Amino acid sequence: MKDTPSNLLHALALIFVCGGCVASDSCVGPALTRGEAEAEAEAEAEAVPSPQPPATKAAEPALEGVLGERARALVRASTFADQAALIESRLRPSVRILPTRSTQEAIPLGASRFAGLPDLPEGLAWPKREEHPMALLAQINLKDLAGRAPPGKLPATGWLYFFYSMEASTWGYDPKDADSFAVLYHDGPLESLTRAAIPTGYGEAARSFSPSALSFTAAVDLPDPEDRRFPTELLSPGENEKYDAWYALNAAVRDFDENRSPGHQLFGHPMMIQGPMREECELVSKGTYTGRGYVPLPETEDAQARIDAWNLLLQLDSDRSGPGWMWGDMGRIYLWIRDEDLAARRFDRSWMHLYCY
């Protein structure tokens, strides 16, 4: 069971990552225990005060349609009704991903899936790290997102593939982790695809995942208090009842309970586990190692704009009932991409994080 809101560690500037604990059936212990890492993080926080993030970029246009109206009604009926305009400016559209365990043979060529074997065109190689082929985590047929994904975010056609190295089991705080995951995009006719055979060196962990057919539904969400996009003036440290009220509001807006169902999604606000990730994306993708705690970023307008340009592309939760994977201790994998790279379809410039409890 995941932590209750009143027990969460709200550390906006310190990043503790569950070291190396990626597995299909068990969690390999980190170099530091969670308690040790939290103690170290608290000591560093006392030595180097970490500033609150500045105000983020201007809000996107208000969401339209039934989902947006429902979300606004929930906000206006909540404990935070007096701040409704501010909260509504943080509403974001997302796409919830719903897996159903299946078999490789039952999932048609080119269909969206978790795990299993990818359907690749000639000339698009199965990604490897060293001699090991990476595990296919997701293949998404973009036609399946029509009417569900935020307009203009993704191409209308083609396939997105997300691969991850189970052998490396990285978590994204080291620039060297760049070769441990891959995001591919292909656009072409269905006839251009061929279901790949199991490659030599494909690991047992990847083989243990169950192919799962996917369906998609449009959703709306709000940021968690640990998120950079959260309006910090709404909550103060120690206001546990208000924190609980915020989590309850967000669950109602999402129409989703993360303690009951896996939280797989495209876009929107991430379901946070530890610290903010946008800052880490900017640092690590530019060559800075962030595995030992808080690393300050310049407070210049340009630096803050670069941080805010990072947005969630894909979130994959631990899921025993679908593909059967477990990311550490009930963790999640997050895939991030800059606005400019998303617009240019440079999915290869994405960055990955793995966080666990």
CB 99 within 8 A of CB 319: yes
Task: Say whether pLDDT at 31 is over 50.
Answer: no
Using only C-alpha atoms, what is the Rg of the chain? 20
What CATH number is given to the structural domain containing 97? 2.30.320.10
Mean pLDDT of 103-127: 97
Mean pLDDT of 316-327: 96
Mean pLDDT of 274-291: 90
Instruction: Name, in order, each residue with C-beta under 8 angstroms of 113's C-beta and a sequence gap of 6 or more.
Output: 102, 107, 138, 139, 211, 212, 213, 214
If pLDDT is split at 50, 70 and 90, which confidence band does 127 have? very high
If pLDDT is split at 50, 70 and 90, which confidence band does 6 have? very low
Task: Say whether pLDDT at 286 is over 80.
Answer: yes
**pLDDT for the residue numbered 259:** 74
Range with the poorest average pLDDT among 125-139, 257-271, 339-353: 257-271
> What range defines the domain where residue 225 resides?
5-355
**Category of 177 on φ-ψ map: left (φ > 0), alpha (ψ -120 to 50) or beta:** alpha
Distance CA 295, CA 279 (A): 9
If pLDDT is split at 50, 70 and 90, which confidence band does 289 have? very high
If pLDDT is split at 50, 70 and 90, which confidence band does 126 have? very high
Task: Say whether pLDDT at 249 is over 70.
Answer: yes
Sign of torsion over alpha carbons 19, 24, 28, 32: positive
If pLDDT is split at 50, 70 and 90, which confidence band does 35 have? very low
Q: Torsions phi, psi of 326, nearest 5?
A: -135, 120
**pLDDT for the residue numbered 308:** 94
Instruction: Tell the residue number behind the tokens 């201007």, with chain if given.
Output: 58
Mean pLDDT of 121-128: 96
Task: Say whether pLDDT at 9 is over 90.
Answer: no
CB 52 within 8 A of CB 60: no
Question: Could you tell me which of 3, 43, 15 has the C-alpha nearest to residue 240?
Answer: 3
Mean pLDDT of 141-150: 95
Mean pLDDT of 33-51: 41
**pLDDT for the residue numbered 295:** 78
**pLDDT for the residue numbered 349:** 96
- Output 99 or 171, whichever has higher pLDDT: 99
If pLDDT is split at 50, 70 and 90, which confidence band does 84 have? very high
Q: How many domains does the chain have?
A: 1
Cα distances (angstroms) measured from residue 240 to each of 55, 200, 243, 246: 24, 52, 5, 10
Q: Provide the greatest CA pair distance for the chain.
A: 60
CB 199 within 8 A of CB 133: yes
**pLDDT for the residue numbered 255:** 92
**pLDDT for the residue numbered 64:** 75
- Output 326 or 8, whichever has higher pLDDT: 326
**pLDDT for the residue numbered 258:** 75
Mean pLDDT of 50-65: 48
**pLDDT for the residue numbered 145:** 96
Task: Say whether pLDDT at 180 is over 90.
Answer: yes
Mean pLDDT of 116-133: 96
Distance CA 63, CA 106 (A): 37
pTM: predicted TM-score of the whole model, two decimal places = 0.83
